[in-house]
Structure 1
Amino acid sequence: MTMVKAHVSAHELVAGRYRLLEVFARETNRLWWYAEDVTAQQPRLVAQTALPEPAAEDTARRVTARVVRTSETMRLLRPGRVAAVVDAVVEAGTLWTVTEWIDGTPLGELLAQEGSFHPVRAARLGLELLNVLQAAHDEGITHGELSPGQVFVRDGGPVVVAGFGLAGATLAPRLTAPSYASPEQARDERIGPAADLWALGALLYTMVEGRPPFRDRGRPDATLRAVDRLPLRTPLRAGPLAQAVQGLLRKDARERLTRPVVREALTRALSEDTDADRQPAPAPRLRGAYRAVRPAGPLRGRRLLAAGTTLALVTVVAAVLAATGALPGTDTAGAPRESAPAAPADRPTGGGTPPTPAPTGTPSTPAAPTPTGTPSTPAAPALPAGYRRYSAPEGFSVALPDGWKRLATSRVGGLAYRVTFGRGGDAPTLAVTYSERVGPDPVAVWRDDVEPGLARLPGYRRLGAVRATTYQGRAAADLEWLAGTGDARTHTLGRGFLLGGTRGFSLRFTTPAATWDDAASRLALQTFLRTFRTPED
């Protein structure tokens, strides 16, 4: 299959009228572009999809006609819930689908930003998707290409689904996002509504777990084989959705849950879960920002939009260990408690050069500090000037710089939580994550469970290998990475370690990349790692 690439000149117009401005979402074999209709002087969204082989003229007409016709049928059936396709063209083996502006954020983009969703939020979105799919199935229409890139989430409104009409338009069993293909698609068999229900289950799985049920293996054929042959990894964070998700992801289409059963399960999850009033973090208003800059002209709009996209993504650079990942909510507890006030000093992450302590066993580079000879119940170390120990209600403690407070807390029932500290705004931050459902190998957790989600972040680059180490006498591993671009680029060190059984913590320190080697950043990282204490210590 030909893989789509963003090799389009800013001076070229698709179909002679659509100027491509900026890629805002991508998945296997599909790019979404912000665009401008230079004829109508209207903003548009354009999906770029590579066709499996060069299309003859009659094939191109059939493909585009099917996409436009099916999308229009669905738009009339579910107004406001289906993307309105205004044009579709095939040029040089690429299908360009042009839609009206959608005031929403692609589900894949939200997941890249937030890691995963609370099960209640996932259930709400799942019900909205089920409503659209039911309308399609009642008309004999199968979507067949449902994926996070085809679902737009709007603030205060229903989801919008794009991509109708792609299935069956070519001989390929699946054009895009093979991780969400059903087993029957993977076998190139005839598909029906059951394939969409599988995709719904895969989306629910991804929303709660922060990763697809079957990871992308780089080549569509390899990914499709995995979907068909490999067993499903049991979801760990689905909570009340666990049975519904697993019932939708049954390999045999005849054994999958039916729409009424799925609807009942999702509705019950909303009514039974005690955390149903949890408020999601607001999605970035990128599309509103685009409209705001439209009068300034295409070039200026493109620059502002690109900057806004980068900042919105980089400020939430964080993917957590496998069983973490609830949607962060703002904690109202205020600043952390002080249990050991220290003498005032310059802020360690601001200007100036604070004094550097000499912690035992700290290496010359802060990338992988590995304290040695630490007893199982370490005594509280002396704190550097400008730090004080914070004791969390969850039971852990750590020394924080003056001015740092508890910024956000997220939980997954009684299984996992994440607490983020900082001064507010952008990095530097420290995220403390606890889970009762982590794997036995810290290296494998970073490599197999966390990094696939991190890899979706703009500008992601791992620094070196995942490093096995020990921390306070416990098995541990470090992952270090960069993300973002330009002035918004960040540098993160994550250390995950096991407490025993399936319980574990991770500490993640993030700073602007430009200040990673500053004395203040080195001091902060060394102090966090040297002073962190679990509830068992």
Structure 2
Amino acid sequence: MESPGAERMIARRYRLSRTLGQGGMGVVWEGYDTLLDRPVAVKEVIFPPEIAPAERQNLVIRTIREARAAARLNHSAIVSIYDVAEEDGRPWIVMELIRAMPLDEMVRTYGATPIRQVADIGCQMLSALRAAHAAGIVHRDVKPGNILVREDGTAVLTDFGLATVEGDASLTQVGTVAGSPAFMAPERVRGEKAGPASDLWALGATLYAAVMGRSPFERGDTMATMNAILEEEPDLSRMPRVLHPVLRGLMARDPEQRLTADQAEEMLAVLGTPPPRDPALRRLSRAVAQRMPGLSGRGRRALVVGGAVTTVAVLATVGWVTLGPRTPASLTADAASRATGRTATTAGTVTSEPRTPVPATPAATADARPTPTPTRTAAPRARGSALRAWNSPHGWSIRYPRGWKPSRRQSFTGWLRRDGGAHLGVAELSVADGDPMTLLRAARDDFVARRVRTIRMRTVPYPGGAAAEWEFVWVAGESGPRRWARPGQAYRELRRAVVVGDLAYVVEWTTLKREWQGQRRLLRTVLRGFTPK
């Protein structure tokens, strides 16, 4: 990657170190915010030398609009915009630095994306687009190069440079094409106004490319590609049959006949989640949702999968923490197949070490199992009297810090430090064929806080069962289910969902963000002491 040579500062604050990639609107640099002491990605707008002054101003306006549009959105699957600085007569967009690989590069490097991962990425993008559309923003350039996939499988939508915002006049000149032709919906090719359905069509073409490596309408020539979009149906003959319905629905030529985001997400969820066998889960979902503390109506929803119902969001206020090292070997079959890769070339990405490759065909990947950190043996003895043992009437046990205030409500047990700066909680739920990652993703989607930033989400091995982890940072708002949290305070939390037989446990540990490192030793001791029934 190119280096700027001598140290270069933007707006006397952002220090540039190297280029990460280049696109149609400019160059993306890896940078550092010297004021807030954090890494950032900085997008530099490149003006062609022959551009007219009027068009130059047009590009400036368009860049400012990109930042304004994206900054309005607060979603875990959308890149965060921090600032817009002006230097040398042109704007620079300062954004979140994401350690991830663009989806198109991931496919080029590792081959076809597995079906479950395609479905997972699709669901995350649908959630991001739903948030954008609700804010009156149409992305207009959804494509594999604008989707970044982290090593834990979470995906982020980037580059709102072509976004259409309600209330803003279009900046596209008559006779020009804005966007990537192979991923443009038919109505946009015809010059009609882009709407939310246009983004959904582009997402369908993107999911196709995640498996096949290219858009179904790519013909090597812009006019031939646009003609194929208007006249031809996507060729699904080499595509796994389970993806045919959702791809046909998303890429329907008529926007009125296209799937909605909710319909597409429901279809993809079936592909991304192992179907449960117990039809009684519908009744269980309602019963548990009524018992769990702090859940909103949205948090009580159930996900319909394969004709049955999997309870996925009833644990939205609880979780488990594991503090073991994060290594590729700790990923299970689904997570190990996720590509994280070499040099990233899209806005907001950096280089990471190669991980386990995605197989060339959507087939199962061998399970990688390191030495498990959790055990089902008796809880270790704490030093001195720092911890006390709790044996639940339901059969599980844990050692919690002495002096913390206990509370119980049906299937949830919690302990709060006297000053309110830390909290431990355990919830138990009966499930059938439960998927711990599904539980955590639902909890992530329904988590209520002022700001939420995921640090990692991964599947981990567990003796005699299955487990997944979610670590994140959040800022408490004025209201929310966690009444002990102080408004405006930043907290760090790491949850683990464990499924053993027909029981699921979600154990959470939450501390003030500034205290996280100092509490790690205590956390390890407490968490090793948890024993399922």
Q: TM-score, normalised by structure 2?
A: 0.47
Q: TM-score, normalised by structure 1?
A: 0.47
